[in-house]
Amino acid sequence: MPITEVITDTDALTLTVIADFTVPVRRLWDAYLDPREIERFWGPPTYPATFTRHDGFVGGITNYYMTGPEGDRSGGYWEWIAVEAPHSFEVRDGFAGEDGEPNENMPSMRMTFEFTETALGSRLTTTTHFNNLEELEQLQKMGMVEGMSAAMGQIDAVLEDLTSFAAGNGTRVQLIGEDQVRVSRLIRGTVTQVWRAHTEPDLLRRWQLGPDGWSMPVCEYGEQPGQTLRTEWQNDESGERFGFVGVVMDAVAPHRLVATERMISPQDPDGESSPESLNELTLTSVEGGTLLSYLITYPNSEVREAVLATGMADGMETSYQRLENEILVQ
């Protein structure tokens, strides 16, 4: 059990949990910044967490929900207040409804996470700041300490799993809920490099091509909300052609880009008959490079299954390999 001390200070209105680990600070930090890892220990074993958004930058948002044994859900959110990688971050933590929006009927707390080096590895000090004594006592009665203890008891197994999240493992696909997919890949490059490669047309044309023999004759891309996007690919031998159109909905360079997407073809050049998806790209600096995370929301599960059946993940992996070999690693 990593927790070594729990301190309740009713005068300062704080609850502090101290936990020690036998891994470097950077390894522990990355486990909290990587949505694939934190969701393996943020919720207690009987209420595992699913993270649908995890920004990790000032002004960003985290959305997650925990699912109980009967299928019941309990949602939460973070508002990122401060980040000093890999030493500390501060968030506003609160409860959320089924729609992911903050539940104003429940209290929100300020939480600080401090990562420090020790003789044996690293220490995490998590301090929750309450608004008043009533809220502190309310959360304690709800089992906050017991829940944190059960959740943090799972961290050691995640930290020991060095292979699942290391560079070289390729593109990973995770189904979330009934209509979402999270595509993740560790890219050997800086956040700024990967951001530019995803937003600058000249760079996109060099790597986002899928199998050999395809080119991108049309690439209208950018990072300004409201900007229309259009990309078209062509098989240089057969002349076969397809593409995508969309609109930038939100952007926080160089970390987050949200855009709609509809498939187009010569028979449907505007994609009017194609279902629309919402693509949320998040880039996070981790050891070894940049964690790329795409959360894609489809209209329904049938569309999701149809898209995955096209070999989307394999095509993305081919492109990401080209991105590393031709642009980022030179």
d(CA 10, CA 116): 25
Output the six-digit token pair for 110: 């300020």
Question: What do you get for the CA distance between the two ends of the chain, in Å?
Answer: 44
pLDDT score recorded for residue 99: 76
pLDDT at 103 over 90: no
Domains defined for the chain, CATH in brackets: 3-160 (3.30.530.20), 172-328 (3.30.530.20)
Q: What is the mean pLDDT of residues 242-263?
A: 97
pLDDT score recorded for residue 164: 65
Q: Which residue has the tokens 């220990």?
A: 41
When the pLDDT of each residue in the chain is averaged and rounded to a whole number, the result is 91
φ, ψ for residue 322, nearest 5 deg: -65, -40
Percent of the chain residues topping a pLDDT of 70: 97
d(CA 308, CA 156): 33
pLDDT at 167 over 80: no
More confident residue, 38 or 97: 38
pLDDT at 149 over 60: yes
Query: Global pTM?
Result: 0.91
CA distances from 201 to 31, 205, 219, 232 (A): 33, 6, 6, 12
